[in-house]
Amino acid sequence: MKKINIILLLLLLPFILFAKEVKPVKNVIVMIPDGTSIGVYSASRWFKYYSNMGDRLNIDPYLSGTVTTFSSHAPIGDSAPTGSAYATGIPQQTGNVSIYPEVSNQDIFPVDGSRTWQPAATILEGIKIQKQKAVGMVVTCEFPHATPADFSSHHYNRSNYKALASQIAYQNLDVMFGGGNSILTDDIRQYFNQNGTTLFSNDREGLLNFEGDGKVWALFGEKSMSYEIDRDPTKYPSLAEMTEKALQILSKKENGFFLMVEGSHVDWAAHANDAATMIHEFLAFDEAVGRVMDFAEKDGNTAVIILSDHGNSGFSIGSYNCSGSSELSLEQLFGTVSKFKKSTSELESILSNAKPEEIKSLFKKYTDVDISDEELQWLLSSKNYKERDYTQVGTSNNLAHYIAKILNSRTCFGFTTGSHTGEEVLLASYHPEGDILKGNVTNREVNEYLQKVAGLEMSLLDMTDNIFAKHQQVFEGMTFSIDKKQPDFPVLHVKKGKNRLEIKAFSSIAKLNGKEFELGSVVVYIDKNDTFYLPVQLRDKL
């Protein structure tokens, strides 16, 4: 009975919360500092004060509540299902990207098994298709990584970059800035040429000096962009610079826009238990917050919500390393970390290529830390082992792990894990009429608010059934088959009389009797049930 009551409450909360109407606005901006626990806000604010950069964060005036964020089957989520819940309103399982999950025997939220594997329409898609607004994303990770993928693509596996990258490219985004040059395929490049997208690759000046009105992609690095603490400002733009450029481009659009900005690397640094890098990453994100809020307040028709997708690492100011915590000075807490000049990842790269006799001096150069002979042996014993999975860097015996262990032993910061954590995350909100999201809300309620503030006439649930229907239902009574010669990108063939329809998976292009046309939304193929999900209106083409 208790579980039933909790489920009913979860179902009713969105209606209770939004009994008061929310005035729709022209522009909607979502900002996500990935994997940022409340301790990171506190440490960043104190670090800023210690460094004589002011005593407040740009986000501070807009803090309005907290978000309880979770997966469909677990209180602690990863970025794929938690970001997807923000984007779609549907809690999902670990690894899911904006798709209905499987039913699990540990579900904490009711799951509709009849919809398993159906793509769920996102707020980005809703605003683009229903409101004909411009859409864009700015991130520091590679562009098909979990959070950007959550808002612009669909799959049960967040690691399937081929499927995700293709969908993101075929979404016809007006702006996409981030990492991932090596992920671009010949097909994507060809499509950009076809739809008039300008592509900048490792070209900071080209992006920042762009004055055109067309679609723009700017990618930096082969995969992810560098950490802020390691960034070469002459070669790579900051998150704030990219965000400001995105606002400049998108604000020219007459109908308005939707923009998602992610500070991707707070999460990565937290996984590595790298306190200095976490702080620098969050301050870089907060600088972008400042640019956004300046725009929003001057514009007068823009709503902004800022929230992390989950916690990470159990980061704290204060640890077992330091006794008498209430007597520790600002210098004792932040003096040491202020001298760390490289991320543990970058320092790992430097030390991996150094001679053993150079390691002590190099460590001192970049951290001002004198390491002991025992600590040197830790580094030497691990220098040829690198952890490829960024989520495991803080806990496996790789070189970056030992670097972090040494650095953390010299500070008064604590970490309980190298993984995600389940505490609620901070929420900040802005609306020109004061219709903000506040109090404690769930990730589902965040999506409900986004739908209302965007002024969507059709719910994302109804839209899902319009643009992501099963091909067996759409083409019932017709002849169809799936060509899997290219297994990553199957092609659906449909016949009716003399007409022939050809639809490639993970794109927005179809061919009718050999002639290409735009679908207006992406087509998703799921191998688990051998099904294409596509617009219902395609039936009328035949």
268, part of any domain: yes
Give the model confidence (pLDDT) of 359-409 as tens digits: 999 999 999 999 999 999 999 988 554 445 555 545 557 899 999 999 999
- Report the number of distinct structural domains present in the chain: 3
Supply the CATH number for residue 505's domain. 3.30.457.10
Residues 6+ apart with CB under 8 A from 299: 26, 27, 251
264, part of any domain: yes
Helix (H) or strand (E) run with residue 332 in it? helix 330-334
Domain that holds residue 144: 2-315+418-443+458-465
How far apart CA 150 and CA 301 sit, in angstroms, is 25
Same domain as 124, residue 20: yes
Q: Examine the pLDDT at 180 and tell me if it is beyond 90.
A: yes
Residues 6+ apart with CB under 8 A from 513: 498, 499, 500
Nearest residue to 490 via CA among 463, 527, 516 = 527
Q: Which residues pair with 31 in a beta bridge?
A: 261, 306
Same domain as 210, residue 100: yes
Q: Which of 78-82, 108-112, 217-221, 481-485 has the lowest mean pLDDT?
A: 108-112
326, part of any domain: no
Q: Examine the pLDDT at 16 and tell me if it is beyond 60.
A: no
* Cβ-count burial 270-283 (b if 16+ within 10 Å, e if not): bbbbbbbbbbbbbb
Nearest residue to 285 via CA among 232, 236, 337, 241 = 241
Residue 56, Cβ neighbours under 10 Å: how many?
12
Q: Examine the pLDDT at 3 and tell me if it is beyond 80.
A: no
For residue 447, what pLDDT band results from cuts at 50, 70 and 90?
Answer: very high
Percent of the chain at pLDDT > 70 equals 94
pLDDT value of residue 23: 98
CA atoms within 13 A on the CB side of 503: 30
Q: Examine the pLDDT at 24 and tell me if it is beyond 70.
A: yes
Same domain as 134, residue 276: yes
Nearest residue to 460 via CA among 68, 10, 115 = 115
How far apart CA 100 and CA 379 sit, in angstroms, is 45
145, part of any domain: yes
Q: Examine the pLDDT at 7 and tell me if it is beyond 50.
A: no
Same domain as 536, residue 496: yes
Nearest residue to 255 via CA among 434, 454, 430 = 454
Token pair of 460 as six digits: 């994302």
Q: Examine the pLDDT at 6 and tell me if it is beyond 90.
A: no
Same domain as 305, residue 395: no
Nearest residue to 449 via CA among 301, 305, 261 = 305
How far apart CA 251 and CA 131 sit, in angstroms, is 15
Percent of the chain at pLDDT > 90 equals 91
Token pair of 284 as six digits: 């870089």
For residue 530, what pLDDT band results from cuts at 50, 70 and 90?
Answer: very high
Give the model confidence (pLDDT) of 112-133 as tens digits: 999 999 999 999 999 999 999 9
Same domain as 532, residue 402: no
Same domain as 273, residue 233: yes
pLDDT value of residue 381: 87
Q: Examine the pLDDT at 89 and tell me if it is beyond 90.
A: yes
Q: Which residues pair with 71 in a beta bridge?
A: none
The torsion angles phi and psi of 261, rounded to 5 degrees, stand at -120, 125
Token pair of 151 as six digits: 């808002």
Helix (H) or strand (E) run with residue 507 in it? none
Token pair of 21 as six digits: 């109407």
Judge whether 170 and 187 are in contact, CB under 8 Å: no
How far apart CA 407 and CA 344 sit, in angstroms, is 9
pLDDT value of residue 5: 47
Judge whether 313 and 421 are in contact, CB under 8 Å: yes
Number of H helices, E strands in the chain: 19, 22
Tell me the angle at which helices 123-131 and 460-467 cross, rounded to the nearest 10 degrees. 80
334, part of any domain: no
Give the gyration radius of the chain's Cα atoms: 24
Same domain as 176, residue 30: yes
Q: Kindly report the CA angle at 272 between 30 and 74, in degrees rounded to 5? A: 60
Give the model confidence (pLDDT) of 258-298 as tens digits: 999 999 999 999 999 999 999 999 999 999 999 999 999 99
For residue 2, what pLDDT band results from cuts at 50, 70 and 90?
Answer: very low
pLDDT value of residue 390: 53
Token pair of 336 as six digits: 């040491």
Same domain as 155, residue 57: yes
Same domain as 272, residue 348: no
Same domain as 491, residue 523: yes
pLDDT value of residue 382: 83
343, part of any domain: yes
Q: Where are the alpha helices (DSSP H) in 132-211?
A: 146-152, 161-170, 186-195, 204-208
pLDDT value of residue 4: 44
Token pair of 29 as six digits: 């901006």
Cα–Cα separations (whole angstroms), residue 363 to 25, 202, 338, 343, 367:
51, 30, 15, 12, 6
449, part of any domain: no
Q: Examine the pLDDT at 13 and tell me if it is beyond 50.
A: no
Q: Examine the pLDDT at 100 and tell me if it is beyond 70.
A: yes
How far apart CA 533 and CA 287 sit, in angstroms, is 40
Give the model confidence (pLDDT) of 292-334 as tens digits: 999 999 999 999 999 999 999 999 999 998 999 899 999 999 9
322, part of any domain: no
- pLDDT (average), residues 73-93: 97
Supply the CATH number for residue 172's domain. 3.40.720.10
pLDDT value of residue 459: 98
Q: Examine the pLDDT at 476 and tell me if it is beyond 80.
A: yes
Token pair of 391 as six digits: 């989520």
Last residue in a domain, options 465, 496, 529: 465
For residue 8, what pLDDT band results from cuts at 50, 70 and 90?
Answer: very low
Q: Examine the pLDDT at 182 and tell me if it is beyond 60.
A: yes
Same domain as 359, residue 274: no
